[in-house]
């Protein structure tokens, strides 16, 4: 197995911390939060999708990707992420786009240096670690919110 396919397998396995939860989340879970943190379950699902699309475009050169990363732009939960099917469709799209953009990387490009304002200068392989851990981090938050969260968003 070549490097790119090994890395995609690693990323997919890491993302299961998030994707495995999607089968059990209900629309009633989406507005839940853990006080005093303001972000709802719905916001976190949308945020993961936003960031995956940003990585596909800005790190892995999927320049055709159109992304309006509303959670990144607003930097706070506005309470609008309450349609489960829309969110599931969005994170399926972000998964597909990011996976395809990773698979398009040439074998010899993983040591290439990438600089972004969000996380500075890293190799392409380090940025893959960054998106993997970003998703896992928020997946942990999502699990706690769904299990223990309050049913109202405190904006």
* pLDDT tens per residue across span 126-144: 999 999 999 999 999 999 9
Q: Which residue has the tokens 């800005």?
A: 58
Domain ranges of the chain: 3-28+36-148
CA torsion through residues 59, 60, 63, 65, sign: negative
| Residues β-bridged to residue 122 | 114
Just give the CATH number of 3-28+36-148. Answer: 1.20.120.450
Whether residue 91 is predicted with pLDDT greater than 80 in this model: the reply is yes
**Other residues' Cβ atoms within 10 Å of the Cβ of residue 31:** 20
Q: What is the pLDDT of residue 133?
A: 96
Contact by Cβ (8 Å): 146, 21: yes
> What is the residue-wise DSSP string for 81-131?
---HHHHHHHHHHHHHHHHHHHHTS-GGGTT-EEEETTTEEEEHHHHHHHH
pLDDT digit string (tens) for 105-123?
999 999 999 998 877 899 9
In percent, the amount of the chain with pLDDT more than 90 equals 81
93, with CB counted inside 10 A (0-12, 13-18, 19+), is: middle
- Rounded to whole angstroms, how far apart are CA atoms 85 and 89? 6
Distance, in Å, from the CA atom of 128 to the CA atom of 9, rounded to the nearest integer, reads: 12
Q: How confident is the model at residue 152 (pLDDT cuts 50, 70, 90)?
A: low
- Of 58, 22, 26, the C-alpha closest to 138 is 22
């Amino acid at each position: 197995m070549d490097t790119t396919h090994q890395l995609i397998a690693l990323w997919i396995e890491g993302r299961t911390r998030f994707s495995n939860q999607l089968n059990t989340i209900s629309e009633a879970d989406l507005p839940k939060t853990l006080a005093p943190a303001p972000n709802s379950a719905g916001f976190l699902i949308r945020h993961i999708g936003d960031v995956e699309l940003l990585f596909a475009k800005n790190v892995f050169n999927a320049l055709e990707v159109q992304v309006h990363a509303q959670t990144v732009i607003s930097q706070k939960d506005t309470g609008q992420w309450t349609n489960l099917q829309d969110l599931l469709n969005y994170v399926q799209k972000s998964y597909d786009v990011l996976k395809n953009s990773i698979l398009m990387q040439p074998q010899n490009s993983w040591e290439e240096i990438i600089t972004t304002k969000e996380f500075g200068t890293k190799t392409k392989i380090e940025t893959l670690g960054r998106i993997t851990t970003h998703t896992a981090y928020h997946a942990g938050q999502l699990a706690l919110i769904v299990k223990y969260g309050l049913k109202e968003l405190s904006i």
